[in-house]
Amino acid sequence: MLLTPLDLTPDHDIPAPLLTELTALYVANHEFFALSGDFPDPDDIRPEQVAEALAEELAHPDAEVLLGRSEGRLVGIAITLAHHPDPADPDPWIGLLMIDAGVHRQGLGQRLARLVEDRFRTEGRTAVRLAVLDGNDRALAFWTALGYEVVDHRTDRQQGRPCAVLRKPLDGPGRP
């Protein structure tokens, strides 16, 4: 899997062909967006909504949108935050890690997660955190299988949704 940062046009837009790919990725994950409420109608996610959501993410100076490609095809996205807004939290965060639902359970999510962890390790970071929305049992099982442990339960900062906060130490080299 190749992991690359999202490159915007000089006008700070997402190139149209890439926006089409990203929208298809979001649409494929209907179940997650039905739970999260991130879009007004999870049955009708539109390119302009995806572009707006990603622009909101990128408005944060420490955010990065990473694209995961396998065999040239966009199969996943990770949105990371180098520094949490809470100054008491020293760890970087994975704000979103999503794999095309059509290729779930093929190991691509694990590969993408490890690539993100490796990026943080390379930066000298010693742990990473993320939040899983209550009711997203598959995501909780995925992350705990990768060695993440629940360290807190609270509401998310953006929408006040209940979630579990997970943390994983990044000791030693990552797995391939």
What dihedral angle (degrees, nearest 10) is formed by the CA atoms of 75, 17, 24, 6?
50
Task: Look at 36 and 142; give whichever has higher pLDDT.
Answer: 142
Q: How confident is the model at residue 14 (pLDDT cuts 50, 70, 90)?
A: very high
**On the CB side of 104, how many CA atoms lie within 13 Å of its CA?**
12
What average pLDDT is seen over the chain?
91
- Nearest Cα to Cα of residue 156 among 91, 99, 100, 86: 86
The predicted model gives 143-165 an average pLDDT of 91
Q: Let me know the angle formed at the C-alpha of 110 by 105 and 111, rounded to the nearest 5 degrees.
A: 115
Which pLDDT value is given to residue 26?
Answer: 95
Q: How many other C-beta atoms can be found within 10 angstroms of the C-beta atom of residue 114?
A: 17
For residue 9, pLDDT over 90 is answered with no
The predicted-structure confidence for 44-69, as pLDDT tens digits, reads as follows 999 999 999 999 998 888 999 999 99
Which pLDDT value is given to residue 125?
Answer: 95
First-residue to last-residue Cα distance in the chain: 11
- Nearest Cα to Cα of residue 175 among 130, 113, 91: 113
Q: What percent of the chain has pLDDT over 90?
A: 70
Which pLDDT value is given to residue 172?
Answer: 57
- The overall pTM is greater than 0.95: no
Both structure tokens of 94 = 């994975």
Which pLDDT value is given to residue 135?
Answer: 92
The predicted-structure confidence for 82-139, as pLDDT tens digits, reads as follows 988 777 888 999 999 999 988 888 889 999 999 999 999 999 999 999 999 999 999 9
